[in-house]
Structure 1
Amino acid sequence: MKVSPSLLPILRSRMQGELLALVLLHPEREYGITELANDIGVTPTTVLREVDRLTRGGILADRRVGRSRLVKARTDTPLYRPLSDLMSVSFGPVPVLAEALAKLEGVRRAYVYGSWAARYSGEPGPPPADVDVLVVGDPDADALFDLAEVASRRLRREVNVHRISVEAWEARTDDPFLTSVRERPLVELHLGLGTM
């Protein structure tokens, strides 16, 4: 079950934040209901109810192609820019970082940890000042640094990337850093999806 959205408590649910972030932060894309449900990890019926609300409210646009319903952000309304900005700074790290890291050679897995992951998991507290990312694999260090800089500008907060090898991640040693990361909330970035 999805927990309440500590990242942006004005939303009804974390699922609503995830859906809005995914669609609003990729306004050039159209998404099918099943695709959105898979990306967010909920049932198509749940997504359909939320899409109906957001379409009626003028936030999303939809069209039918055969039996499929395709959804995209409405960028022609006064709500788009401020709502997109809110989604970027609150729920934006998951779709933005997953998309960027999926394109970077050598990344095997990636996680958000620290205060952003804690808020995402429902722990109360102030808005996170930064986003901490653990990258498992052997991507080029300069490319990873550049990716963090671009993501920081897009998310309007510092993105800190820590890289470790696959062996170090799987070893389960008593490394104090990895122990603290594993003991706190972790949000896995689904790299195979490209956008989520």
Structure 2
Amino acid sequence: MYLNPGEEYSITEVANRIGASVKSVHQEVTRLVASGLLADRKVGTSRLVRAVEDSPLTRPLTDLLAVTYGPLPVLTRALRGIDGIEQAFIYGSWAARYNGEPGTVPADVDVLVIGDVDPDELDDRAREAEAVLRREVNIRRLRPATWKRQEDPFVVTVRSRPLVALHLIPEGSAA
């Protein structure tokens, strides 16, 4: 919920997404509502819950979850091991928020892959990441020569804004 503030979820929806029983989720939601971390409301027989957005804990919790479960680790796992990737970055509004620029929670994640990579494989990996992140993932591929060209308008724009590198070398490998 903290990765998607402003969105509401039913208890059943939360249980299904995290693979827990409805009873367990109901108990935990009750505790989190009592502690002020979640807000709830009834709509018919459903109990809808959402993150409390005006708490002093909201930003730190969102940041922690973004680092541990957000686009950075999800996309790193999704792209790791694909042949031909030389570098990969998250750019755009998500990278700006990650680097502390204020603004609304991004609706999508923009990813730049530098290398000679099969675009169909990148599309497949983007769809997999979207299923986990529950937001659109746009992967743009550039050939290494294009990334090196300082006069390319797209490259100039992307390089002038925050970038978050995806470290795709498996842990324990020599780089």
TM-score exceeds 0.5: yes
Residue in 1 aligned with 2:93?
Answer: 115
**Whose RCO is larger (CA < 8 A, sep 6+)?**
1
* Aligned-pair CA distance for 1:11: 4.3
1:46-87 per-residue CA deviation (whole Å, 9 max, x = no partner) reads xxxxxxxxxxxxxxxxxxxxxxxxxxxxxxxxxxxxxxxxx4
Residue in 2 aligned with 1:165?
Answer: 143
1:93-144 per-residue CA deviation (whole Å, 9 max, x = no partner) reads 1111111111211111000000000000001111000000000001111111
Structure 2: unaligned runs, 5 residues or longer:
6-52
2:73 paired with 1:95: yes
2:164 paired with 1:187: yes
Q: RMSD over aligned Cα, in angstroms?
A: 2.3
Q: In 1, Cα distance between the equivalents of 2:73 and 2:167?
A: 9
Match of 2:60 among 2, 6, 12: 12
Structure 1: unaligned runs, 5 residues or longer:
1-6, 22-86
Residue in 1 aligned with 2:42?
Answer: none
C-alpha spacing 1:140/1:112, structure 2 compared with 1 (3 Å)? same
TM superposition outliers: structure 1 runs of 4+ over 4 Å: none
Contact kept, 8 Å, 2:97 with 2:103, in 1: the verdict is yes
* Aligned-pair CA distance for 1:10: 1.6
2:154 paired with 1:177: yes
TM-score relative to the length of structure 2: 0.60
Q: In 2, Cα distance between the equivalents of 1:153 and 1:131?
A: 13
Aligned residues: percent identity? 49
Q: In 2, Cα distance between the equivalents of 1:17 and 1:193?
A: 22
Contact kept, 8 Å, 1:135 with 1:163, in 2: the verdict is yes
Structure number with larger C-alpha Rg = 2
